[in-house]
Amino acid sequence: MRATGGPLEGIKVLDASAGAVGPWAGSLLGQLGADVVKIEPPQGDFIRNIMPTQRGLSTTYISMNYSKRSILLDLKDAAERAKAHGLIKKADVFIENFRPGVAERLGLGHAELSALNPRLIYASASGFGWGGPMVKIGATDPHIQAFSGAASVNGMPGGLRQRMRWYGHFDVNTALCIVQAILTALFERARTGRGRRVEITMIEAALALQRLRIAEHLAGGRPAPMGSATTYLVPDQAFPAQDGPIAVSATSRRQWERLCAALGKPELAEDARFRTNPLRVRNREALIPILESVFRTRPACHWLRVLAGAAVPAAEFTSFHHYRHHVHYLENEMLATFDTHWGRMTVAGIPWRFDKSPASLRPAAAPGEHTEEIVAGDWPDLAPAAGGAGKRRVG
C-alpha cells in the first residue's frame, strides 16, 4: 500500500538500512507521507531473525518497517546494482547504516550516488562514527547505553550499573535524529536546489538524551544511580502503595502544598527542612521515608483518585497489556490495529497530528513484495489509495 497523502507526499525515500536505527527513521518518514522503499539483499535484513516472531517473521522487523514498500536486490550483482542506481536517480532521500566502507564497496557510497543525483539527501548513520578506535566495532543499543555513560546513572544506589531494559531506546532516539536531519536537509534543498550528506551517530544521539546529566556533571555534580528518583526535584519518583507502586511528582510550591494536604500531612509543607525544592533535595533522606510510610497505608487506586482531585501529578505503572485496552489510549487513537500478512496486529499510533494533510500508518510489506512493481516501473508516480486503519485527522 502506498502513501495516501501527508506532509511529505511526493518525497521518495530509498531505505537501504538494516536493524532498527535506520529502518525506524524510514518508517517515520513513511508515516509522514513519503513513499519509502526498503531495499534488502536476498538473504534479508538481519533483524528478521530476532525473536519473537509472528508467523515466521520477527515482530521487531515488522514494527520497524511499517509504512514502506519492499524490494529485494542483490547489490553485489552488477545488473541488480544498476536497478538500484535507477531508483536513486528518482529518489529524494537515501538512508544507510552500513559499517564504514561497506556502502562504497556495494556501489552505494555518497560520491557515486550524488553524481547520479545531485539533489539526493544522503543520510548515513553509524554507531561510533567514522574515525577513532571504535569505528570497526558493531554497535547495538545496549552497548551504546554502556559506552555513552547512560548506564552510569541507572539502577539502585550502591548496586550494579543497569541499562534501560526497554531494548531499543537509544536506537529509536537515533532514528528521530536521522529524521530531523533529513527534514532539515530537504528544507535547505528547497532553497539551494542541491542535496547533501548528513551523518548521524548513535553516540551523539545518546549524548543528546543526557544533556541534563552532562550539565550537572560539568557544574560539579556527581550523577549516580538513584533508582526511580531524580537529582533535581523532590518528590519525583515511585512510591510503594499498599498494592503496588505509583509515580508521584511535585514540580511547584503549590503542588507540594497540595500533596502534603492530600496525604494528611499539611505540616510538612511548612517544615523548615522541606519548604522549598532546594531544601527538599538537600534533605531527601529525611523526607522520602515519611512520604513512603503514608503511601503504604492505602492502595494505589485511592492515592490516584485523591491526587487527581488535588491536581498533583501522579500515574499508575501500566503494562503493555494494560494500556492496550486502556480507554484513554483507545479514545485518542494512540494505538492502531491492522490485518496484515502475519495476522491481526496492534501497534503504537502516529506521534504527530496534522490537519488537512494527515499522517498515516500502513502495515509493513512482506519482504520483497513490491520488487517487480517498483523496478519495472522505475518507481512509478504516487497514486491515491483508499485510507486504512491507523489514519488520524485533526480539525
Give the pLDDT confidence of 286-326 residue by residue, as tens digits: 999 999 999 999 999 999 999 999 999 999 888 878 878 88
Question: Which position has the grid cell 508515516?
Answer: 31
How confident is the model over 92-143, as pLDDT tens digits?
999 999 888 889 999 999 999 999 999 999 999 988 778 777 777 777 777 7
* Residue 393 confidence (pLDDT): 32
Top-confidence range, 270-279, 315-324, 371-380:
270-279
pTM exceeds 0.85, yes or no? no
Q: Which domains does the chain have, with CATH numbers?
A: 12-209+328-376 (3.40.50.10540), 236-318 (3.30.1540.10)
Least confident range from 6-15, 16-25, 142-151, 183-192: namely 142-151
Q: What is the pLDDT of residue 227?
A: 80
Query: Which range has highest mean pLDDT (147-151, 344-348, 368-372, 375-379)?
Result: 368-372
Q: Is the pLDDT of residue 19 over 80?
A: yes
For 147, the grid coordinates are: 559506552
Q: Is the pLDDT of residue 386 over 60?
A: no
Distance from chain centroid for Cα 19: 13
Q: Is the pLDDT of residue 202 over 90?
A: no
Query: Which SS3 state, helix, strand or coil, does residue 392 take?
Result: coil
Decide if pLDDT at 384 tops 70: no
CB 144 within 8 A of CB 206: yes
pLDDT score of 216 more than 60: yes
- For residues 37 and 54, is the Cβ–Cβ distance under 8 A? no
Q: What is the rounded CA–CA span in Å between residue 122 and residue 197?
A: 5
Residue pair 48/42 in contact by the 8 Å Cβ criterion: no
Indicate the pLDDT class of residue 385, thresholds 50, 70 and 90: very low
Mean pLDDT of the chain: 86
Determine the average pLDDT of the residues in 43-65. 82
Q: Mean pLDDT lowest for which of 188-192, 218-222, 358-362?
A: 218-222
As a whole number of Å, the end-to-end CA separation of the chain is: 25
Whether residue 167 has pLDDT greater than 60: yes
With beta carbons less than 8 A apart as the criterion, state whether 145 and 207 touch.
no
Question: What is the percentage of the chain residues whose pLDDT exceeds 70?
Answer: 93
Res. 88: pLDDT tops 90: yes
Check: CB of residue 139 under 8 Å from CB of residue 127. yes
Return the closest-CA partner of residue 80 out of 373, 377, 371.
371
Q: Give the model's pLDDT for residue 334.
A: 86
Q: Is residue 188 pLDDT above 50, yes or no? A: yes
Instruction: Judge whether residue 392 has pLDDT over 80.
Output: no
pLDDT, position 387 = 35
- For 333-363, write each residue's pLDDT tens digit: 888 888 888 888 888 888 888 887 788 888 8
